[in-house]
Chains A and B, each alone.
Chain A
């Protein structure tokens, strides 16, 4: 249970930590130990999650995963009562046992507010940030009739509802109307029938009495501070905290075996995406940079970001690499997938292949063409998820901002917080990125999907430890940070991408023009100069752990962060793929003519050594050259 007293060992004395993540299909355990002055990942184990029938007890999967770690270390971590905490000797037990969970479908929420782009959107951000899947957003002005909203609430059966609306002292009527809709729907929770649906009210404090009168007898009502106490301010923490409490009290307590697991852990179980979000925020602080994190799974793609010290998370519930791969096709269209391929493929064949991946999600690409197609789909899934993220990661909407010069005009601030030029790192995880046969493939997927601008470090999470490290950071920040840096983060390399000025694409001739000159002082003291023309992509060896000094001198129509044509001098980090120079323009420029485009893609594949040349030659043989 989330019981502070269980933590008998002080932080400094912690030498051994077990952390598990109970995913919907796999339960992953990691063992962290202190070696000298630093914490390191020692071993990991995994086993199928056992939430569903016939097992229906999550702790069996945890035992199996931790059991693998026991086998690998020869130490004993499991007793009759679960994970042995505190440690009894060097060979038996651990100082800290933590867990995250997304099993059983994760935390599924519905949010409601008064104005769609204001209180409802703030409520959505609060729920997403807490690690929820938001099933629907209901607002007074969402265009649906009241009976349609009621029908929707009844049909969805969320784990909990968060509802907000009105600034303190503002509208009571509309908030009451929403409360009445919820009451009329008489919603039932998804799991279990023996408890009332938790509903969190985080709106106008003057409407609390009426909300209470309307809902108290029907649901488990919790009242927290208003998410938007005044128009200019968004206060998400109290609502997020209550979501976590209720997640433990209700959702987890209803899921099979969780009441047992809650007794094993030294600290509260966190929803997996909530823990990953915490992890991403730590990364931003630790490296003092703006960060985008992405986790691309079989069913969903989560995007996290920290810009201007503001954390945001979005879930694209139906963009994934297996169960929902057909939705990627549906949303982006076949032509957007084909544009990344270096060979021709028939439309019918491609569609059937994608469908077959959906119905047999655990299969892997055996042939090179299958791998290239899968990575093309990943580019599109990532791109769409990121587009979605940009629309929600915005400043507060509904604010009136006076413009300069005493202008009478006022304007809504709705710009996305996401600024690719100030971005410091893109961190990817998920099978298609972490398990790409060549690391450069992961780097190129991130470059093509996110299109970082200026100077940006690209990285992947080696074995997707972010959930465990996120929850660990809530009790031991230092251990979490050390393991992240040394054992989790794989630096792929730094991408340098000059951005053309707005008029560049109006030129008659794009290709062949000089874009940038990069002078590098390499770690061995040698110097080299790289000049790139538009459309070129190049890879310079620079090992992980090494840095080089770069003087980046863009031509007058390009910007690398210092302004059009202005030189930028900076340190660049190496990585397993080296330094990645990208002069393909932003937005990335792909020619329209299919044959010319395929030729361009082949040139990039060759210059970056993305795929094995001999195998690729077999697929393009007989096609145009």
Chain B
């Protein structure tokens, strides 16, 4: 078994990409199979049931739960407007009056003579599902959603924050190890996805935020800068739901480092092109990594001849094992972030400095140094 334990991150200049777009509850699909859709286009729509609201009428009116019907002015199923009278009572010959008015508009869903509660439901909340990527609808799941397919550049990051966004790629540095000066981010960056080099510093993130950029892509981030920008710490590796105006994608890890050459040259190739990106990261069984997708011009034609390639084309894991000559990225100290090439795969377990007995490999770093690394601590650099 010569597998790296950590699957490599993908960085491909042209590949088939499929994304399933699904409503959380059944609704209407607005597009048809074969339609070409845009990232911001609404492809399906539904209505989420309105929020329920419970009012303890018995308490509020000062009656026993079993007596609430004597004061209620509404019944189950009634529609009411905000301010409508729900319950009314008068006593002492009309001198003392009590009433309870509806705090919201909605429907009376339930009245309980056991607890004295009334449950109202507010009007439904419309929910629209966007296409996310420019592509062709290859499957419609009635009432649920669609599968959209495209061909284009595909880059995975290691960690991200922020949800789905769309913007034009703008490479701001010449060298992937350079740290961008935040002052270079100006109004030209509005609506764009900025490739900022080695580090997404706190200054860069705040500045990008101010000018209205849609995304920031960097090799690394310093832990404290992430906390500073988010305003809180991240405890568990599940992201994507943060309420921030831009999406951050880190390609290598935490700390200053270089964007892998292949990834950086790919980003340079798509400079100026429209991209869809998503920072959502989930590192558990069923790993989800952040992604950047840039559909090719004229992908419609190229896809026509490819649709037979199979649904899983984008997900198909090449599963390539490690071999002598395989390019790798080392993902833990003492060579964290180094790129290397496998030179030897000794089959027997070896004792490393920490005294653990593990499977290792020998690799040549870019400066020619030969090192020994546990196989668990490398990633294959994927095509």
Q: Which residues of A contact B (CB under 8 A)?
A: 24-25, 49, 51-54, 103, 146-147, 150-151, 172-174, 176-177, 180-181, 183-186, 210, 214, 299, 318, 322-324, 326-327, 329-331, 348-349, 351-356, 358-371, 435, 437-438, 612, 615
Contacts and interface: CB of A to CB of B under 8 A. Distances in A.
A352 B222 contact: yes
Given A49-B285, A352-B222, A366-B374, A184 B334 contact: no
B114 A364 contact: no
A180 B376 contact: no
Nearest to B6: A362
A52 to B, nearest CB: 5
Interface string B337-378: 000000000000000111111100000000000000110110
B5 interface: yes
Contact of A214 (B49, B112, B237, B254): B112
Contacts of A146: 53-54
B315 interface: yes
Q: Which of B112, B115, B281, B354 has the most CB atoms of chain A within a 10 A radius of its CB?
A: B354
B353 A324 contact: no
Interface residues of B, number: 55
Given A186-B49, A326-B236, A181 B54 contact: yes
Contacts of A367: 333-334, 353-354
B286 A52 contact: yes
Contacts of B115: 173-174, 176-177, 180
Contacts of B121: 184
Given A151-B51, A177-B115, A184-B52, A359 B285 contact: no
A172 B115 CA distance: 8
A294 B54 CA distance: 42
Nearest to A213: B114
A327 B56 CA distance: 39
B285 A52 contact: yes
Contacts of A359: 158-159, 237, 253-254, 281, 283
5 contacts: A351-B224, A359-B254, A362-B5, A369-B333, A371-B356
B331 interface: yes
Closest 4 CB pairs of A and B: A327-B235, A437-B355, A351-B223, A355-B254
Contacts of A355: 223, 253-254
B236 A364 contact: no
B99 interface: no
Contacts of A365: 332, 354, 356
Contacts of A147: 51-54
Nearest to B373: A366
Given A214-B112, A360-B332, A177 B237 contact: no
A177 B55 CA distance: 11
Given A184-B110, A437-B356, A330 B233 contact: yes
A184 B42 CA distance: 30
A184 B286 contact: no
Contact of B117 (A24, A177, A358, A360): A177
Given A177-B115, A318-B236, 7 more contacts: A180-B54, A299-B236, A329-B235, A353-B254, A356-B255, A360-B332, A370-B332
B190 interface: no
B241 to A, nearest CB: 12
A370 B334 CA distance: 9
B214 to A, nearest CB: 23
Contacts of B109: 184
B332 A438 contact: no
Nearest to A364: B376
Contacts of A329: 235
A355 B161 CA distance: 14
Interface string B110-154: 101011110101000000000000000000000000000000000
